[in-house]
C-alpha cells in the first residue's frame, strides 16, 4: 500500500474538474482546501464567540435572530445556560482543531513544504488527499451536532468525563457528545495521515543540495510539528475510542460507579477513572498548543528574515529552540491538572519542565527582536503581522510564568486569566501567523497581489482590538472571575460586568474589521494585479517558480540548491539577496553557531 507507484496515476497532469479541484492529488490544491476549510471554521467560531460575548453582558436580553438558530437553545432569542455552554464547546473545538491546527500547519504546510524543499509533490499524494477529505468529514460530523437531538455537547473542548460520558448529564450529552467524539477521532486519523506525509516528504524528497540545515525555518517548523502531531494525535485517538466505547458500549474506562444524576443511580458503570481521560487528553492537549504555535512561529521567522533583509542572528539556534519546545511539550501535560487531585509531588515534577520551556521561547523572541536591531525593515502587511505575532507571543508567554507554578495556579486555575493566557499565545498569536502567511504567500498561491493599504488597516485594527479583548481577561482572572460561566450571578462578579462590556464591544469591533481582510482576500483573488514570481525579493525555492506554480511546481526542472536559505543583505547581481538555487558565488554574511 505504501508504494511509489501510488503515483502512477500521477504521471500526467489531472484532467477534469473533479480530479483538478476536488479530489485532487496535488499538494497545492489540498493546501488551499485546508485553508478554505479553516476559513469557514474560523468564521463560524468567531460568530459563536460574538453570541457568547453578547449573552455574557446581557444575559436576559433577546439576541436578534438567535431564536431562528435554535428555538429550544434560545427561546424567544434569550440564550439558555446550556446553549451558551454548547456554543462555547463548539467554539473551542472548531478553533483548536479546525482552525489552529488546519491553517498554519496543514494548510500552508501542504502548499509550501514540498515547494520549499524542491519536491514536486508530497510523498504519498493519495494519503494527502485522504487526510483532507477525512478532516472534511470530521468537520461536518461536528457541525451536524448543531442539528441533532438537543444540540451540541456542553462539556467544553476538554470533554471531561463523566460529564462527557453520561447521556443524562445534561442537554447535548446524548447524541451531540457522541458526534463530537466521533468527529475528533476522524480528525485524528486525518492529522496522522498528514503528519506521515510531512515527515516522509521532508526526509526523502529534498532536492539536490537541500541539506536539512538549508531548509527554510517554516519548513523546519512544519517538520517538527508533524513529529509532534504524529505522537500527539496517536494518543488522542485512543482516548476518543475509549470515550466512545464508554458512551455507546457501556464500558467503564472513565466512568466510576455509584454516580447519582438527578436522583437516578447510574447502575451500569463502575470503577472507571476520570483522571485517566485527563491524563490522556492533556498528553495530547499540551503538544497541541505547540502544533498550533510552532508553524506560526516558523512562518513568522520566514517572513521576518525577508522583511529584515538580513539573516537572523542564528539559523540553527532557532531550529534547536523549536526542537527543544517540541520535546519539552511532552513532559508538562500535568500542569493542566494541578488542582485535579494529582499527588502534590507530581505537581512539582510537572511545574519545572513547564518553567524550562520559557528558556527556548525566550531565545526565539530574543533572536527575532535582536535581529531586528540594525536591520532594514521592509514594512508591509506581512511583516507587520509577523511583528504583531512577536508582541502577542511575548504577552501570552509571560502570563505562563504564573500558571506554571502550582502555588499560583491554585488561585488562578479555572479563571479568565487562563482564558486570556491561551487566547493570547495560542489563539491570537497563531492567527497573526496565518494573516502574515496569507499576505506573504497570497500572491504565490493565487497569482494576484493583495491590497497593502487595506492590509495595514486590517493589521492595526486587529492588533489593537486583540489587546483590548484579551488583556482585560488577565485582570478579571486576578479578581478570580471564573471561566465557563454563562452568566455572572455571584456577588463578587457583578461589579466586573463593566469590564466584560468593554471586552464585548472590543470583540464586536475586532470581529467586524475582519471583513476588510475577507474583502481584500476575495477582491484581490479576482481583481488584484498579477503577481510576479518573486514579489518580495525572497530567497527560498517557492520564489524560484511562477506565481502560482505549475502543476509539478518547477515545470519539470528540479531546482538544485547552492546556498543557505536566507542570503539577504549582500551584494549580488539580483540585488541585496541571492536565491537558494542561483549558482552565483557570493560572500555570505557570517552566521554565529
Partner 1 sequence: MATTLQPPSIKLPSARGVPRTKKLGPEVPSTGIWVGLAAITMTFAAFTSAMIVRHGSAPDWQHFSFPIILYFNTVVLIASSFTLHMARSRFAAIGNGAADSGPALRALYGTLVLGGLFVCGQYAAWLQLRTKGIYLATNPSSSFFYLFTVLHALHVIGGLLGLTYVISKLHRSVLAKRTLDATSQYWHFMGVLWLYLLGLLWIRI
Partner 2 sequence: MAKFVAVTLILITIGSAIPIIAHIWVPPADISTHGHLIDEQLSDTMFEAGICFIAAQIILAIFMWTASSRKPGEKIRNFPGGAKALVTAAFLLVGTEVLALGFFGSKAWGEIYFTPAAADSLPVQVQAGQFAFYFRYPGPDGKFGPIHPEMVNEASQNVFGLDTTHDQDAKDDIVTAEMGIPVNKEIHLLMHSKDVGHSFYVRELRIQQDFVPGLDLSLHFTATKVGRYEIVCTQLCGLGHYNMKAYLKVMSQPDYDAWMKQQAALQ
Partner 3 sequence: MRNRTCYAAAVISCAILAFAVVMMVSQRKVKAAPPTEGAIEGTIKLDGTPPHEKGIDMSKEPSCAAIHKANPVKVESVVVGPNGGLQNVVVYISQGWNGPAQASTVTPEFDQKGCQYLPHVMAVDVGQQFKVVNSDQTSHNIHPMPTPGGQNHEWNKSQPPGAPPINSSWAGEEVAIHVKCNIHPWMSGYMAVVKGPYAVSDNNGSFKIENVPPGDYTLTAWQETYGTQTQKVTVAAGKPATANFTYKAK
DSSP, res 449: P
Q: Residue 279 binds what, of partner 1, partner 2, partner 3, none (CB under 5 to 8 Å, by partner type)? A: partner 1
CB 426 within 8 A of CB 99: no
Per CB under 8 A, which of residues 78..117 are in contact with partner 1?
A: none
Nearest to 189 by CA among 140, 136, 111: 136
Taking the least distance from each CB to partner 3, the nearer of 71 and 378 is 71
What residues contact residue 69 under an 8 Å CB cut-off, 6+ apart?
Answer: none
Taking the least distance from each CB to partner 3, the nearer of 78 and 342 is 78
Per CB under 8 A, which of residues 477..506 are in contact with partner 3?
A: 487, 489
Q: Residue 537 binds what, of partner 3, partner 1, partner 2, none (CB under 5 to 8 Å, by partner type)? A: none
Cell numbers for 214: 538549508
> In this structure, how many other beta carbons lie within 10 angstroms of the beta carbon of residue 581?
24
Applying CB under 8 A, does 230 fall inside the site for partner 1?
A: yes
Taking the least distance from each CB to partner 3, the nearer of 230 and 487 is 487
Q: If DSSP codes are grouped into helix, strand and coil, which group holds residue 82? A: helix
CA–CA separation, 20 vs 255, rounded Å? 48
Report in angstroms how near the CB of residue 164 gets to partner 3 at its nearest: 16
Q: Residue 367 binds what, of partner 3, partner 2, partner 1, none (CB under 5 to 8 Å, by partner type)? A: partner 2
Taking the least distance from each CB to partner 2, the nearer of 68 and 345 is 345
Among 82, 121, 542, 564, binds partner 3 (CB under 8 A): 82
Applying CB under 8 A, does 76 fall inside the site for partner 3?
A: yes
Nearest to 141 by CA among 102, 96, 93: 93
Taking the least distance from each CB to partner 3, the nearer of 5 and 60 is 60
* DSSP characters over 254-272: S--SSEEETTEEE-S--S-
Report in angstroms how near the CB of residue 284 gets to partner 1 at its nearest: 9
Per CB under 8 A, which of residues 3..42 are in contact with partner 1?
A: 3-5, 7, 10-13
CA–CA separation, 328 vs 334, rounded Å? 12
- Per-residue burial over 70-101, b = 16 or more CB atoms within 10 Å of its CB, e = otherwise: beebbeeebbbebbbbbbbbbbbbbbbbbbbb
Among 10, 14, 58, 81, binds partner 3 (CB under 8 A): 81
CA distances to 165, 359, 386 from 435, rounded to whole Å, are 38, 27, 9
Taking the least distance from each CB to partner 3, the nearer of 275 and 493 is 493
Per CB under 8 A, which of residues 48..77 are in contact with partner 1?
A: none
Taking the least distance from each CB to partner 2, the nearer of 103 and 382 is 382
CB 204 within 8 A of CB 216: no
Applying CB under 8 A, does 583 fall inside the site for partner 1?
A: yes
Instruction: Tell me: cis bond preceding 548? Omega within 30 of 0 counts.
Output: yes
Applying CB under 8 A, does 576 fall inside the site for partner 1?
A: no
Among all chains, which residue has been given the C-alpha cell 448529564? Answer: 169
Give the distance between the most distant pair of CA atoms in the chain. 81
Among 20, 58, 69, 75, binds partner 3 (CB under 8 A): 75
CA–CA separation, 46 vs 51, rounded Å? 9
Q: If DSSP codes are grouped into helix, strand and coil, which group holds residue 264? A: strand
CB 26 within 8 A of CB 125: yes
CA–CA separation, 308 vs 126, rounded Å? 39
Applying CB under 8 A, does 264 fall inside the site for partner 3?
A: yes
Per CB under 8 A, which of residues 302..341 are in contact with partner 1?
A: none
Q: Residue 457 binds what, of partner 3, partner 1, partner 2, none (CB under 5 to 8 Å, by partner type)? A: none
Q: Between β-strands 575-578 and 259-261, what pairing exists: parallel, antiparallel or unpaired?
A: unpaired
Applying CB under 8 A, does 464 fall inside the site for partner 3?
A: no
Report in angstroms how near the CB of residue 173 gets to partner 3 at its nearest: 10
Cell numbers for 16: 477534469
Q: Residue 123 binds what, of partner 1, partner 2, partner 3, none (CB under 5 to 8 Å, by partner type)? A: partner 1
Applying CB under 8 A, does 208 fall inside the site for partner 1?
A: yes
Taking the least distance from each CB to partner 3, the nearer of 81 and 480 is 81
Among all chains, which residue has been given the C-alpha cell 477534469? Answer: 16
CA–CA separation, 485 vs 489, rounded Å? 9
Among 249, 265, 267, 489, binds partner 1 (CB under 8 A): 249
Report in angstroms how near the CB of residue 362 gets to partner 2 at its nearest: 5
Q: Residue 185 binds what, of partner 3, partner 2, partner 1, none (CB under 5 to 8 Å, by partner type)? A: none
Q: Between β-strands 567-572 and 575-578, what pairing exists: parallel, antiparallel or unpaired?
A: antiparallel
Report in angstroms how near the CB of residue 340 gets to partner 3 at its nearest: 23
Among 57, 192, 318, 469, binds partner 1 (CB under 8 A): 192
Nearest to 122 by CA among 133, 136, 106: 106
What residues contact residue 17 under an 8 Å CB cut-off, 6+ apart?
Answer: none
Q: If DSSP codes are grouped into helix, strand and coil, which group holds residue 567? A: strand
Among 200, 358, 362, 574, binds partner 1 (CB under 8 A): 200
Report in angstroms how near the CB of residue 152 gets to partner 2 at its nearest: 13
Taking the least distance from each CB to partner 2, the nearer of 313 and 513 is 313
Among 78, 144, 231, 261, binds partner 1 (CB under 8 A): 231
Applying CB under 8 A, does 126 fall inside the site for partner 1?
A: no
Residues that bind partner 3 (CB under 8 A): 59-60, 72, 75-76, 78-83, 150, 170-171, 262-264, 487, 489
Amino acid at each position: 500500500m505504501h508504494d511509489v507507484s501510488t503515483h502512477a496515476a500521477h504521471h500526467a497532469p489531472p484532467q477534469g474538474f473533479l480530479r483538478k479541484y476536488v479530489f485532487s492529488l496535488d499538494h497545492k490544491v489540498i493546501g488551499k482546501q485546508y485553508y478554505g476549510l479553516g476559513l469557514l471554521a474560523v468564521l463560524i467560531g468567531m460568530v459563536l464567540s460574538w453570541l457568547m460575548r453578547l449573552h455574557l453582558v446581557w444575559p436576559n436580553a433577546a439576541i436578534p435572530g438567535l431564536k431562528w438558530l435554535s428555538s429550544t437553545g434560545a427561546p424567544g432569542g434569550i440564550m439558555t445556560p446550556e446553549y451558551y455552554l454548547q456554543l462555547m464547546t463548539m467554539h473551542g473545538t472548531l478553533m483548536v482543531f479546525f482552525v489552529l491546527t488546519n491553517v498554519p500547519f496543514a494548510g500552508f504546510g501542504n502548499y509550501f513544504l514540498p515547494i520549499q524543499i524542491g519536491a514536486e509533490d508530497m510523498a504519498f499524494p493519495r494519503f494527502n488527499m485522504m487526510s483532507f477529505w477525512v478532516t472534511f468529514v470530521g468537520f461536518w460530523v461536528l457541525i451536524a451536532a448543531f442539528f441533532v437531538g438537543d444540540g451540541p455537547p456542553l462539556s467544553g473542548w476538554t470533554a471531561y468525563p463523566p460529564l462527557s460520558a453520561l447521556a443524562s448529564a445534561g442537554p447535548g450529552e446524548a447524541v451531540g457528545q457522541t458526534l463530537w467524539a466521533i468527529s475528533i477521532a476522524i480528525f485524528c486519523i486525518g492529522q496522522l495521515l498528514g503528519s506521515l506525509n510531512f515527515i516522509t516528504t521532508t526526509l526523502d524528497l529534498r532536492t539536490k543540495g537541500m541539506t536539512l540545515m538549508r531548509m527554510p525555518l517554516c519548513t523546519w517548523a512544519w517538520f517538527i510539528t508533524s513529529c509532534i502531531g504524529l505522537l500527539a494525535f496517536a494518543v488522542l485517538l485512543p482516548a476518543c475510542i475509549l470515550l466512545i466505547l464508554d458512551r455507546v458500549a457501556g464500558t467503564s474506562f472513565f466512568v466510576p460507579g455509584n454516580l447519582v444524576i438527578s436522583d437516578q443511580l447510574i447502575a451500569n458503570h463502575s470503577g472507571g477513572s476520570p483522571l485517566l481521560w485527563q491524563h490522556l487528553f492533556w498528553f495530547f492537549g499540551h503538544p497541541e498548543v505547540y502544533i498550533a504555535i510552532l508553524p506560526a512561529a516558523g512562518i513568522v521567522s520566514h517572513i521576518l528574515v525577508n522583511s529584515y533583509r538580513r539573516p537572523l542572528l542564528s539559523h540553527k539556534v532557532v531550529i534547536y529552540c523549536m526542537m527543544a519546545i517540541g520535546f519539552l511539550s511532552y513532559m508538562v501535560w500535568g500542569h493542566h491538572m494541578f488542582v485535579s487531585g494529582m499527588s502534590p509531588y507530581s505537581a512539582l515534577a510537572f511545574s519545572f519542565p513547564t518553567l524550562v520551556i520559557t528558556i527556548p521561547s525566550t531565545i526565539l523572541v530574543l533572536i527575532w527582536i535582536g535581529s531586528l536591531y540594525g536591520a532594514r525593515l521592509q514594512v508591509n502587511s506581512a511583516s507587520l503581522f509577523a511583528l504583531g505575532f512577536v508582541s502577542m507571543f511575548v504577552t501570552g508567554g509571560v502570563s505562563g510564568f504564573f500558571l506554571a507554578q502550582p502555588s499560583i495556579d491554585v488561585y488562578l486555575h479555572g479563571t479568565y486569566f487562563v482564558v486570556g493566557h491561551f487566547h493570547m499565545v495560542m489563539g491570537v498569536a497563531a492567527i497573526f501567523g496565518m494573516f502574515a502567511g496569507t499576505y506573504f504567500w497570497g500572491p504565490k498561491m493565487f497569482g494576484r497581489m493583495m491590497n497593502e493599504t487595506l492590509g495595514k488597516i486590517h493589521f492595526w485594527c486587529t492588533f489593537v482590538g486583540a489587546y483590548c479583548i484579551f488583556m482585560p481577561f488577565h485582570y478579571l482572572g486576578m479578581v478570580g472571575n471564573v471561566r465557563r460561566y454563562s452568566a455572572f450571578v455571584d456577588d463578587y462578579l457583578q461589579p466586573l460586568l463593566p469590564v466584560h462590556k468593554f471586552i464585548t464591544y472590543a470583540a464586536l469591533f475586532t470581529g467586524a474589521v475582519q471583513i476588510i481582510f475577507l474583502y481584500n482576500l476575495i477582491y484581490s483573488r479576482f481583481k488584484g494585479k498579477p503577481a510576479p514570481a518573486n514579489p518580495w525579493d525572497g530567497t527560498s525555492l517557492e520564489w524560484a517558480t511562477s506565481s502560482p506554480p505549475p502543476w509539478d511546481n518547477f515545470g519539470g526542472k528540479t531546482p538544485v540548491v547552492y546556498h543557505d536559505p536566507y542570503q539577504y543583505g549582500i551584494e549580488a547581481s539580483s540585488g541585496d539577496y541571492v536565491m537558494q538555487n542561483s549558482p552565483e558565488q557570493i560572500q555570505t554574511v557570517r552566521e554565529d553557531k
